[in-house]
Amino acid sequence: MYRDNKKKLVSVSETFKLLGKTIKIISTEKYVLFVFTSTNYLEVPRGFMRVLLSVYGTSYSQALVLIAVQFIYRCFSISRRKFLIYFKGRWLFFWYALVGVFGINWGLCIFFIAQENPQVDEILRPLMASSFGLNMSDVFYVAASYEVEDEFKNKVLNWPVIFMIINFASIMGLSFAIIVLCFCFIHYKMQRVTHSKVYEAVQQQLFRALMSQMIIPLVLIYLPIIIVMILPIFHLKNDACISLTSILISIYPVLDPFAVIMIISVYRKGFLNMFTNHPKTNQISNLEMST
């Protein structure tokens, strides 16, 4: 019995080591926040791997902005339908450009500020060896080192990194503030509009779906990243082998649409009919809410 349990523990440990060698891990060690991967499938120079890790950060930033834009659109569709014109035609370029600007800002900060350096190498070397069995020459990472050593070997704040973290926190704060404000405004308007019971039932489903699209990103994206940004301030480390932040961010793209499918009855029935022999019916609702 003991031997079997020990084998299971070894198996789990080896699994996490394998994951660490093949996917991007977000973690903290001492006063360093870092994202790393080890397997260079494309066999490209290290500089290009830094570009790819920067693009990874860019995609994360764009997801935050897209969520906020989505809530703005829904706010207009509920209470200010005349403003929906700003989501059509040439105005769409503005929203795409907005998402792109925030993403490029995030990616450039990572590329130029969060670079590999010897001090971070020394901090990560024992971690990579003990947790993943990796040499630093096999690791590709970007890192935000909150402190650096000056010429007298004293620890001083790394101001470019501090600026980068404040920049990231500002984007996240602005994005979530827009989400909360739009959510509250939508809830306020829905409470003051009366329609048929069927219409109200549909609107309640849509409102619950909207609530899920606020709570799920909060739990799976905003809070995990905020936590890993705070940990290095207090020199607290996160277990890189079991990076909860990486896991939660990876779950988000699957869980968010699935929650909407399960909440909206028409979507739910259509989804479940895919696995049954029930006859499929078309249900079309053309519902509008006046301001």
| 84-99 tens-digit pLDDT | 898 988 888 999 999 9
Query: And the tokens for 196?
Result: 């048929």
Q: Can you tell me the distance from the alpha carbon of 7 to that of 26, in angstroms, rounded to the nearest whole number?
A: 28
Domain count, the chain: 1
Q: What is the pLDDT of residue 196?
A: 57
CA distance 215 to 221: 10
**242 inside domain:** yes
> Which pLDDT score, from 0 to 100, does residue 37 have?
84
Which of these ranges, 76-80, 92-96, 213-217, has the smallest mean pLDDT? 76-80
For the stretch 124-173, pLDDT in tens is: 999 888 888 888 888 889 999 999 888 777 889 999 999 999 999 999 99
Within a domain: 138: yes
Q: Is the pLDDT of residue 41 over 70?
A: no
Percent of the chain residues topping a pLDDT of 90: 26
* pLDDT over threshold 70, residue 16: no
DSSP string, the chain: -HHHHHHHHHHHHHHHHHHHHHS-EEEEETTEEEEEE---TT---HHHHHHHHHHHHHHHHHHHHHHHHHHHHHHHHHH-GGGGGGGSTTHHHHHHHHHHHHHHHHHHHHHHHS---HHHHHHHHHHHHHHH---GGG-EEEEEESEEE-TTS-EEE-HHHHHHHHHHHHHHHHHHHHHHHHHHHHHHHHTT----HHHHHHHHHHHHHHHHHHHHHIIIIIHHHHHHHHGGGGT----GGG-HHHHHHHHHHHHHHHHHHHHSHHHHHHHHHTTS-PPP-----------
Distance of CA 173 to the CA centre of its chain: 13
Q: What is the CA radius of gyration of the chain?
A: 23
- Is residue 177 a part of any domain in this protein? yes
In a domain, 216, yes or no: yes
On whether residue 253 sits in a domain, the answer given is yes
Instruction: Assess whether pLDDT exceeds 60 at residue 12.
Output: no
Predicted model pTM: 0.79
Give the residue, 283 or 35, on which the prediction is more confident: 35
Q: Tell whether 2 is covered by a domain.
A: no
When pLDDT is averaged across residues 215-240 and rounded to a whole number, the result is 86
At residue 193, the pLDDT reads 64
Is residue 116's pLDDT more than 50? Answer: yes
pLDDT at residue 187 is higher than 60: yes
Reported confidence tier of residue 11, pLDDT bands at 50, 70, 90: very low
Residue type, 221: I
The yes-or-no verdict on residue 286 having pLDDT over 70 is: no
Q: Is residue 129 part of a domain?
A: yes
> Can you give the residue range of the structural domain that contains 152?
27-280
pLDDT band at 186 (very low <50, low <70, confident <90, very high): confident
CATH of the domain at 205: 1.20.1070
Q: How many residues belong to the chain?
A: 291
In a domain? residue 47: yes
